């Protein structure tokens, strides 16, 4: 008889829990930053929900994902004013961990690449890029990090510690160098080529960098003249 009574009580508690499960408030997640720019096909996803169209000024919390389509771009601004420019066909997850008033950030790339300008990190803080193959730990620097058949890191300013997680081999990548981290565990670096340096500089170019539009005009006499218009990306 006592066994039957205990069973009934347990079932009652389970039923009550099921009734109130929907009223449990959502878990609060740390705010990491926001989307300061959204161009063309950019989507956003929080944990447990479907992908949605991203909007400029949208807040990003720890665990949120960002994805860009063809010829699309997103700029993520973190709370410490660090910036990453999410290139086309990129998918990533941003996370943040607050411990003893120190906020560490991480960007996990599932595909594509990002240009980055990372603010100097305070003691006890860190900023990391991760992939299935690598971890790039950054204190304050700028460059380009892409993943594919191999992870490629080009540093245009500062110093980045790059770790290959397959072999647990690491090296420091200095300004003017490009490093490669591969799924077979190998990792190496060399001086950046001009093309690599220009690609990295273009990837981290600020939003207010002047651009030029060149037009060829023809007058009534059939003469041509080149018109150059300076403008800034909006």
Residue 205 banded pLDDT, cuts 50, 70, 90: confident
Q: What is the average pLDDT across 27-38?
A: 84
Query: What class does CATH assign to 31-207?
Result: mainly beta
Q: Which two tokens stand for residue 190?
A: 């060399």
The three-class DSSP label of residue 17 is: helix
In contact, 171 and 151? CB cutoff 8 Å: no
Give the chain's end-to-end CA distance (angstroms, integer). Answer: 76
Per-residue pLDDT tens over the stretch 114-126: 999 999 888 888 8
Residue 20: per-residue pLDDT: 40
User: Taking the model in full, what pTM does it have?
Assistant: 0.75
Q: How far apart, in whole angstroms, are the C-alpha atoms of residue 156 and residue 170?
A: 19
In contact, 27 and 95? CB cutoff 8 Å: no
Give the count of alpha carbons within 13 A of 211, CB side only.
10
């Amino acid at each position: 008889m006592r066994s039957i009574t205990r069973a009934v009580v347990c079932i009652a508690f389970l039923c009550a829990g099921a009734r109130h499960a929907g009223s449990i408030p959502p878990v609060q997640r740390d705010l990491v930053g926001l989307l300061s720019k959204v161009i063309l096909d950019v989507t956003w996803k929080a944990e447990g929900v479907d992908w949605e169209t991203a909007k400029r000024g949208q807040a990003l919390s720890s665990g949120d994902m960002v994805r860009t389509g063809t010829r699309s771009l997103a700029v993520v601004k973190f709370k410490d004013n660090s910036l990453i420019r999410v290139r086309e066909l990129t998918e990533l997850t941003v996370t943040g961990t607050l411990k003893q008033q120190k906020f560490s950030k991480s960007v996990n790339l599932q595909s594509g690449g990002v240009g980055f300008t990372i603010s100097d990190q305070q003691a006890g803080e860190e900023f990391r890029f991760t992939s299935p193959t690598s971890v790039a730990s950054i204190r304050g620097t700028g460059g380009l990090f892409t993943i594919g058949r191999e992870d490629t890191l080009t540093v245009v300013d500062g110093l980045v510690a790059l770790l290959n997680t397959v072999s647990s081999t690491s090296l420091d990548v200095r300004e003017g160098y490009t490093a490669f981290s591969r799924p077979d565990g190998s990792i190496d670096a060399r001086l950046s080529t001009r093309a690599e340096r220009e690609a990295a500089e273009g990837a981290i170019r600020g939003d207010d960098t002047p651009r030029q539009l060149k037009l060829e005009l023809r007058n009534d006499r059939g003469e041509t003249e080149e018109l150059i218009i300076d403008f800034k990306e909006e």
